Amino acid sequence: MDNVIRVITGHRPYRPKGFVVRSEEMDDKFIVHNYGHGGAGISLSWGSSALSVRETKGKRPGAVAVIGSGIMGLTSARLLQDAGWDVTIYTRDVYRHTTSNVAAGEWGPFSTHDPAVSSDAFKSQLEWASRISHHAYTNLTGPKYGIRWLEAYTLTNTRLQNFQGDDKIADLFTYKADLGPGEHPFPTAYVQRMVTMQIDPGVFLRQTVADFQLAGGKFVLQNFANVSEILALAEPVIFNCTGLGAAKLFGDDNLVPAKGQLVFMPPDPAVDYMTFGGVDGDTFVNGGFLHMFPRSDVILMGGIFKLGDYTTHVEHDETERIVTEHQKLFADFG
């Protein structure tokens, strides 16, 4: 615990039915919605934004407003610029203060929906968005955007029957292997290994903002109290990328917060892999999958996934639990 340098909380915009990408006419405005991605906003950003920009097909590019400067707002804005639109981002907070900036950043489009209530159409949309987003990120790997390939290990005491995650996109995760006792250094009986991308949100968001501004994009700091204030904007086309704010602004009762908490420690260059789970296998901390990610600036650990919890304070008992579970996991590492 003496090595903890920072603890942060954030709220994922979670919808059991899955994220929303659709368009509608409101007064004389054309509204495109792109929100509700749960714990996979960064992972799905380019793909979901591509779906949302596709909603403008047949319209002549002109002035467009994007509401929100998180990952969905920024990637929607960049794709709109590529399509010839003149984009202004209206936002309450600069990107540094968005939920996206306090995300863990492993590429894995999970924790997005409840499979028992989401439709087959949504599941197909999720696969499409995942593939497009994965392709986009592979074109951006390197230090400039803070993206690198890392091994990830899912720890369990029972051999997993299937790939950890959605089998429909299992081909996007390379170097997969199921390791048994004696084939790995972890204290659990079994480990499932894969390689995926790690995305440093701070680096990626900062560079994407720079790209947006270099392409002529503008920011306006503005907080919207209701949808009428949004409809009063001059732009005829408006993208709603407000995340959790869409619950109040557009009356989405299916949208709820999923509180997360991350613990940061000093970096260790020798740690070049990610882990999911703890010594008892499949360790959950208040609904969140225990995980450890190394970055160049910190080692981060999580996590909790508290549905319906709007509180913003750090929970010290959760910090201690996250640290203690990771202490057990690495206690015997030489």
pLDDT attached to residue 166: 62
pLDDT digits (tens, 9 = 90+) for 131-143: 999 999 999 999 9
| pLDDT band (50, 70, 90) for residue 203 | very high
CA nearest to 265, candidates 298, 302, 303: 298
pLDDT attached to residue 93: 83
pLDDT digits (tens, 9 = 90+) for 290-318: 899 999 889 999 988 999 999 999 999 99
Task: Give how far Cα 334 sits from Cα of 150, 180, 185, 300, 330, Å.
Answer: 21, 20, 10, 20, 9
The residue type of 208 is T
Q: How far apart are the first and last CA of the chain?
A: 20
> For the residues 94-120, what does the mean pLDDT come to?
85
Averaged pLDDT of the chain: 92
pLDDT digits (tens, 9 = 90+) for 146-173: 999 999 999 988 887 665 556 789 899 9
Question: In this structure, what is the dihedral angle of CA atoms 9, 297, 78, 88, given to the nearest 10 degrees?
Answer: 60
Percent of the chain topping pLDDT 90: 83
Task: Tell how far CA 97 is from the center of its chain.
Answer: 15
The CATH classification of domain 147-199+258-330, taken from the options 2.60.40.10, 3.40.50.720, 1.20.120.430, 3.30.9.10: 3.30.9.10
pLDDT attached to residue 272: 94
Alpha helices in 66-224 (DSSP H): 71-82, 120-138, 201-214
Domain 12-139+200-256 class, CATH top level: alpha beta
Tell me which of 52-56, 95-99, 223-227, 264-268 is least confident. 95-99
Structural domain boundaries in the chain: 12-139+200-256, 147-199+258-330
| pLDDT band (50, 70, 90) for residue 70 | very high
Percent of the chain topping pLDDT 70: 95
| pLDDT band (50, 70, 90) for residue 285 | low
pLDDT digits (tens, 9 = 90+) for 47-57: 999 999 999 99
Report whether 91 contacts 222 (CB < 8 A).
Answer: yes
The pLDDT of residue 82 is above 90: yes
Report whether 9 contacts 314 (CB < 8 A).
Answer: yes
pLDDT attached to residue 273: 96
pLDDT attached to residue 281: 64
> For the residues 209-238, what does the mean pLDDT come to?
97
Report pTM. 0.93
